[in-house]
Amino acid sequence: MDDVVERVLITKAELDRQVEELGSRISRDYEGEELVIIGVLKGGFIFLADLARKISIPVDLDFISVSSYGDSSKSSGVVKIIKDVDINISGKHVLIVEDIIDTGLTLNHLVELLKTRGPLSVEICAALDKPSRRKAEVQVKYKGIEIPDEFVIGYGLDYAGKYRNIPEVCILKKEIYQK
């Protein structure tokens, strides 16, 4: 996939190290509690698959699929639920697992939505963080790797639906999305 990749930004080894650390922290923090982990589709599926196997306590797993209204390359913050969670989260701790926080608008909306369903708590775990582009204030308890303002693909992240299966986080060549 050299034709679309500018360079590797985060190697698989760095991702594995980060995931291991986050998994240990989550296991410690929620020991003895009822935890529901909600993966945000589609981008969060690879990170969640890795993270779930580094969590050593029993957890309920579910998925939610959301899409931003309007231009797909820009987040409007108004999210449409394409697939909702099946689990009742009332009285349980919820951890949302997302691929990347960019503007923060999607997660902000999602947290507010899930809070209306009576959970004990709602926290966020994100594999990647692009803080320079933040538009909405979001509290991210479990933050992965901070990245610069570049459009990245791989490790679950797509460009036009493709490249989610690249094992590393890579910078997409500018000429691909600027043409």
Contact between 100 and ligand 5GP by CB under 6 A: the answer reads yes
User: 21 with 50: CB under 8 angstroms?
Assistant: no
Tokens encoding 124: 């966020």
Candidates 20-28, 56-64, 116-124, 147-155 — which segment interacts with ligand 5GP by CB under 6 A?
Answer: 147-155
Give the nearer residue to ligand 5GP in terms of CB position, either 39 or 119.
39
Contact between 96 and ligand 5GP by CB under 6 A: the answer reads no
Please, what is the minimum distance in Å from the beta carbon of residue 154 to ligand 5GP? 9
**By rule CB under 6 A, what string of x and - marks binding of each residue 56-95 to ligand 5GP?**
-------------------x--------------------
CA distance 106 to 75: 7
Q: How far, in whole angstroms, is CA 91 from its chain's centroid?
A: 23
CA distance 148 to 113: 29
The footprint of ligand 5GP on this chain (CB under 6 A) covers a number of residues equal to: 18
Which residues form the catalytic set? 102
DSSP for 126-161, written as a single string = EEEE-GGG--S----SEEEEE--S--EEBTTB-BTT
**By rule CB under 6 A, what string of x and - marks binding of each residue 108-127 to ligand 5GP?**
--------------------
Please, what is the minimum distance in Å from the beta carbon of residue 157 to ligand 5GP? 4
Q: Of these, 152, 168, 170, 173, which contacts ligand 5GP (CB under 6 A)?
A: 152
**What are the contacts of 70-73 at 24+ separation with CB within 8 A?**
73/177
Comparing C-alpha atoms, which of 18, 4, 2 is closest to residue 125?
18
Interacting residue ranges for ligand 5GP, rule: CB under 6 A: 43, 75, 98-107, 151-153, 157-159
